[in-house]
Structure 1
Amino acid sequence: MTHANCPRCGGRLARDNDSGRCTPCQAAERDRLSAPPVVPASFWEHEPVRLALAERHLGRVIRAYRCHPYHGRVALPQTVVAGWLGITQAQLSRVENGPPLVHLDRLTHWAQLLGIPAPCLWFGLPGQPYLADHRSAEGTTDDLYARGRIAEQGDLPAIAVTVEGAATGGGGATDRRRFNAMAALAGLAAAGHTYLLPGATDPRNIGMEQVRLASSLVEDLRRADAAAGADQLCDVAVQAHARLSAWAARATYSRQVGDALQSALADLSIQAAWLAIDAERRPEARPYLNEAITRARIADDPRVEVRALTQLSMLLRESQPGESLHCAEAALRVSARWATPRLTTLLHLRRAHTYAVLRDASGFSREMTKARRELERGPHEDDLGFLDFVNEQEVNGIQGLSYLALDRPDRAAQSFRAIITNPSPGHRRNQVLYTVDLAEAAYQQGDANGAARIALDILPVASQMNSGRISRQLSQVRSNLAASRHPTAATRQFVHAYDRAVSV
């Protein structure tokens, strides 16, 4: 009679061992139930795992992972794996048996958590090169998706380059706006989003490939916005949202695709709302965020719901500060079990700035202390993609804006200068915005010459930004300096340069 071997370490099992694991491996199993184990490379070559990966269905990959012989004769319970993923057992059951996930934040988060090797995946992981699968036939949706993901590997996606190049096109304001939107759509087509172009045929049936492309569109818009601002992108996002919503209303699709479509449309709604905010078209943002919350709840996607609540808190800060606080509190409550330090930092920043608007200095100080404490805990492998802007620069920026709201321009200037001293190259738009805010802080301190010099230095870069917020802030600085009772050479030089720049 031959003895069985432990599937984990290969050691021989005793005759009376019916657990499927040797004693050392059983002890290791107990120690690691709080987190996924580090598995050998051969783990991913197991046939059920390979088939699930080939199907591009992360839920089935997770089920194959749980049932792998490496874990012993008894599969890992759904409750254990759900705990790793930050969801409930019921949610994991729906993930395993429902439609394929298409939300890129969740896909990358869970793939990294389980340690799935990048070459096995059908999407890219943050910080790692993505090699698309070229087995698709030329011109198929798979091929378009692959080319779209490759386009993201440069410094800027095709959409950002195209928008910047379109800034001088067209005739009047309406023509320029239409020209810029059309040029941006052409850039999206180069990144694989040809379905958004005018004249494209709406499919009668929506499948997972179309949903996946819609999800990837949000990532393209997010990266372009961080680099260049939202003015032209806003119309693109609005058109894309209208197009995809119309498809969802007219086309047929399975229940599985419908669930995934809800999450994709919710994410796109949030992005459209943010672009409307940055483009100074704030009244347009609220309906998109209300829709996103509804769709996220239908799809049982708390991460998208929290992102929408976070955005809604920012939108309501000036007009309805009490409701803004409630939105941030609701987001903290919904994310309590799975929030990373960076997400918690952002939510406390939302509350800190709102308390400053309410002139509650103690509330501001309390929330800012919590935000800095969370930020000091560092990045986390489970951070969602939209949180990459939450860093020391952003904390200093919100602190500076809050001090301005509290009539403390001296403290505000200190915060904004810290940003200039330690810039964040990946968030060029925010860097420019906070530099303009520094000019405003200097003016409120009574240093008109200093404000003019700061504004003059940043004017060439600010003029290239497609951000309504930056334009509004810079215009305010110009108005303040032009109205000065004692104009100086520096203030006159900035006002002249500003007027010349906006007249081009």
Structure 2
Amino acid sequence: MAADGSVRRCACGTRLARDNRGRQCNACKKKARDLVVSPPVVPPEFWRTAEMCEAFDTCDMGAVIRAYRTHGHHGRTISQEVAARWLGISQTRLSRIEGGEGVSDLPRLMRWAHVLGMPRDLLWFRMPGRPQTAAEDRQARTPEGVDTPDLGNPGGISGGAVKGERPSGALTAAEQDTMPLSRRSLLFQGVAAATLPGVNADEADHIGKALENARRYSDAEIVASFTRQLDNCKADDGMLGSDRTLPTLLGMLGAIKVCAQDAKPDIRRALFAVGARGAEFAGWLCRDLHDQARATFWHDRATEWAQLSGDLPMQGYVLLKKAQTAYDDRDAVNVLGFAEAAQSGPWNLPPKVRAEVAQQEARGLAMLGLPMLDVERKLERSREYLSSAGDSADNSGLATHYSISSLTLQTASCYIEAGKPLRAAMLYSEVLNTGVLSTRDQGYFLARRASALALSGEPDDAATVGLQAAELAAATSSARTRRELGRTVATLQPWASRPAPRALREVLTG
């Protein structure tokens, strides 16, 4: 209840809980987070309103997108920044397009229409492979009665080519190869296209067949192929950086979603299990790119797919990742809350994950200013879990990377939060000098050490270490590392006129 005793409600009418200090219920919060990543589901009548029909009559995609953003169905206007993210362009470019800049590139127009789920009969250009009427939709089914899988876009209509005689309006093989939304080119031009750099010819052929006819071809082999791709993405991440790894991973997740639609139940569960691990990893990559909204989106998808596959450990593991995301946002309450939920829930977590969760609890306690004795107890508990991991069987595949080095690095962060930065700097140095970290992680923890040195009143050493971190951040496109270096520069402000701090500031702002 509000301070005056009145009942507080969300705009949707849901009564807000007493401990909810915001203005939205949990369902509306989730809807708002999802909106950042993908367009909302809209009913068929959405497209038949006067404002949408008038926009389509102009044959101007800018006018259509503007009418879509400002449609009353959404409850409020969707910003250009959010819509531009869906379409894969900048807000500035979308502003120019809505202002009258013409778009004549047919593949781009088709892709945007597909993303927003625009009905084919309202478009002024041809959308191949998309039946217009229910009768055409039935005729477009394969002899086995399986619809061509689409990518799950709201408002989209599934359909595919018919074997045998070429139907009216169908495309030749050469035409299909150039059309992004045709069935034949789905693997090469659709969401799954980004997976191709990580697969060999046999795997690409198998995935292509699975996308064309998921019920017939989605088998254990395709599950194994996706598992190998995920392992390759994780191996590439530390060297190539998140911005180069994420497109390949998202392509793989799109392919998994398509294959799971018509797979047999046991294969579907196996696909969702791989997808859950991939979605969790996508959340991590988005964290590294400092895209917290998308990180939250993929963590939520990881939880949902883990539930669909019956993977309890993964559900608990995602809670740990949410605690780490909360740490990025300096949200101490959620750091501790998510970690405690991971530790106490029915997840059956392996010892290494429990070790990482206990460390995260220690960090949350330190952030909240609790006594150092409580923090040390949690850290000791983490070491006990890690010690027992060597004697325990673990088939989960979770936190296999977690080691004494990992614990040492995270313990250092606890000391920073507890106001002991010099001790933290020493712990960071112990691991950084071993050479066990990937290029990206070496850069990030160098930045963390620079922050600790700056907090310890060592400006020249902090700036020198920070310059090393900046070089690796540029090589791996790590926004997370650059953000940490930004904190270092802010801490070094009292010494801003000294040569080394000035050089670090110029590198970051240049």
User: After TM superposition, is the score higher than 0.5?
Assistant: yes
Match of 1:217 in 2: 229
TM-score normalised over the length of structure 2 = 0.55
Match 2:425 to one of 413, 417, 433? 413
Conserved in 1, the CA contact under 8 Å of 2:443 and 2:468?
no
Deviations 1:323-374 (A, max 9, x none): 443433333345675x443222111112112222222244422211211233
Corresponding residue SS for 1:225: helix
Conserved in 2, the CA contact under 8 Å of 1:234 and 1:272?
yes
Corresponding residue SS for 2:383: helix
1:55-66 aligned at under 5 Å gives the runs none
Corresponding residue SS for 1:373: helix
Q: 1:195 to 1:324 in 2, by over 3 A?
A: farther
Match 2:463 to one of 434, 452, 455? 452
Match of 1:328 in 2: 339
Overall identity of the aligned pairs, in %: 18
Corresponding residue SS for 1:385: coil
Match 2:267 to one of 257, 267, 282? 257
Match 2:287 to one of 277, 280, 287? 277
How far residue 199 of structure 1 moved from its aligned partner, in angstroms, is: 12
Are 1:308 and 2:323 counterparts? Answer: no
TM-score normalised over the length of structure 1 = 0.55
Deviations 1:192-247 (A, max 9, x none): 76379999954343222222222222222222223443222223323332332234
How far residue 285 of structure 1 moved from its aligned partner, in angstroms, is: 1.8
Match of 1:129 in 2: none
- C-alpha separation in 2, matches of 1:267 and 1:493: 41
Deviations 1:71-103 (A, max 9, x none): xxxxxxxxxxxxxxxxxxxxxxxxxxxxxxxxx
Which residue type is aligned with residue 306 of structure 2?
A: A
Runs of 4 or more off by more than 6 Å in structure 1?
181-184, 195-200
Match 2:440 to one of 411, 420, 429? 429
- C-alpha separation in 1, matches of 2:407 and 2:312: 25
- C-alpha separation in 2, matches of 1:343 and 1:380: 14
Q: 1:336 to 1:182 in 2, by over 3 A?
A: closer
Q: 1:186 to 1:380 in 2, by over 3 A?
A: farther
- C-alpha separation in 2, matches of 1:311 and 1:266: 13
- C-alpha separation in 1, matches of 2:304 and 2:347: 20
Conserved in 2, the CA contact under 8 Å of 1:221 and 1:233?
yes
- C-alpha separation in 1, matches of 2:235 and 2:277: 14
Corresponding residue SS for 2:399: helix
Q: CA RMSD in A?
A: 3.3
Conserved in 2, the CA contact under 8 Å of 1:433 and 1:470?
yes
Q: 1:447 to 1:472 in 2, by over 3 A?
A: same
Q: 1:302 to 1:480 in 2, by over 3 A?
A: same
- C-alpha separation in 2, matches of 1:192 and 1:429: 32
Conserved in 1, the CA contact under 8 Å of 2:428 and 2:449?
yes
Are 1:372 and 2:383 counterparts? Answer: yes
Instruction: State the structure with bigger RCO (CA 8 A, min sep 6), 1 or 2.
Output: 1
Which residue type is aligned with residue 378 of structure 2?
A: E
Deviations 1:300-328 (A, max 9, x none): 22232232222122223446543443433
1:26-425 aligned at under 5 Å gives the runs 185-190=195-200, 194=204, 202-205=212-215, 206-249=218-261, 252-317=262-327, 318=329, 320-334=331-345, 339-362=349-372, 363-377=374-388, 379-380=390-391, 382-383=393-394, 384-425=396-437
Are 1:472 and 2:483 counterparts? Answer: yes
Conserved in 1, the CA contact under 8 Å of 2:447 and 2:465?
yes
Match of 2:127 in 1: none
Runs of at least 5 residues in structure 2 that lack an aligned partner in the other structure: 1-190
Q: 1:430 to 1:457 in 2, by over 3 A?
A: closer
